[in-house]
Structure 1
């Protein structure tokens, strides 16, 4: 596994190994890995199949914009989630991960025959094809299309988790804890404003986490991030990681979704997800 990692780089903790499964196969990673980074570290690039032609797909980004590496994740009974981005989900001991949109397996998918017959499945071919004969729609075309639609499989068990909502009032809301967000939060907090800083990633820093050689205020980027986050908290700034801004509504209301337990192997039963 180590031969696929860049020595001295990355934000993982090599002293905390983690084991999870991918399509039933045991995979080893470290605390701080996402599913995608752990798979890549083990030389696994194939993570899914495309919807239409079932072509092989792997991760092409490192964040929530990932369009290809969509997987199913399971914690236990009732706790299954389809279409999880492998580039975002952190790993933990016992996490079960399955690839999607393949049969019978990811490496050998019979649906890939569509790629060979692509001339028969051009864009929009179905608009007229499935109109004739008319009697076929209810008994043949619609059942087949419904069975083939989508990527992941919808959960069938009751959701045992519970969720909570609350209102938060703040003078300044900053979305994104990269270098610009951290600097803005620091300026506003020093001026006496009540500041809330949110970021969808597990830790603040943004692009600086990939650029440890960058120097800011005569210190390395990583040291500057640690110092800045510590000062922000001392100034009373509410720093919310693993939190995604999902909508901007009337009267300056912003919807936030904070994940509290998705990165934990054994979350407290009283903690909302």
Structure 2
């Protein structure tokens, strides 16, 4: 691993194993996913939204625009998390986003060749005619090509507390109608 031998906020006595894009890696207790990836020599972690250009880790906090990752598998899959805010844990499974079939070889990066001809919002102007059906046809492909992370397709296996509250009267506002509704309700 590439890192300083001492200092920082990590505990070098506690090694943690995790995977990124199927590759087994290691970090230490207290590492964020971003710091562990950098320590393992991985700086290329994603692709840009529209043209699929290579992106690396840009910041050290929640404002990170490039290093968005997907964590987990199955129903516990959670996309679009900044790698700079995710603390690594034993067995963590992380994937890069916005690439196909892989991060190093992304078929959609060919979009960059057409960037001089594709202005901002080009898809809203180019694919709108001749009928509304044309947009309905193209929209599926545009969304698939330009999307970020994919949400899990399986049901969430976790259980959550939930309450269903009902009210006979809900008063919104303190104008004449709201006051008369409150008085009528008692």
Taking the TM superposition and a 5 Å limit, the aligned residue runs for 1:155-174 are 155-163=152-160
Which of 84, 89, 93 in structure 1 is aligned with 2:90?
A: 93
1:128 counterpart residue number: 125
User: How far apart in 2 are the matches of 1:61 and 1:100?
Assistant: 18
The aligned residue for residue 114 of structure 1 is: 111
Instruction: Determine helix, strand or coil for the equivalent of 1:155.
Output: coil
Instruction: Give TM-score, length-normalised by structure 2.
Output: 0.80
Distance 1:124 1:149 in 2: 12
Q: Separation in 1 of the partners of 2:85 and 2:143?
A: 29
In terms of Rg, which structure is larger? 2
Q: Which residues of 2 match residues 22-101 of structure 1 at below 5 A? A: 22-74=20-72, 76-101=73-98
CA contact 2:108–2:145 (8 Å) conserved in 1: no
Task: Show CA shifts across 1:54-77 (max 9, x none).
Answer: 011111111111111000111x54
**Which TM-score applies when normalising by structure 1?**
0.56
Residues 128-149 of structure 1 show CA distances to partners (whole Å, capped at 9, x for unaligned) of 211222242222x122123224
Aligned length: 161
The Cα of 1:116 is off from its aligned counterpart by 1.6
**Deviation at residue 163 of structure 1 after TM alignment:** 4.2
Match of residue 13 from structure 1:
11
Cα 1:161/1:143, change in 2 over 3 Å: same
Please list every run of 5 or more consecutive structure 1 residues that lacks an aligned counterpart in the other structure: 166-273
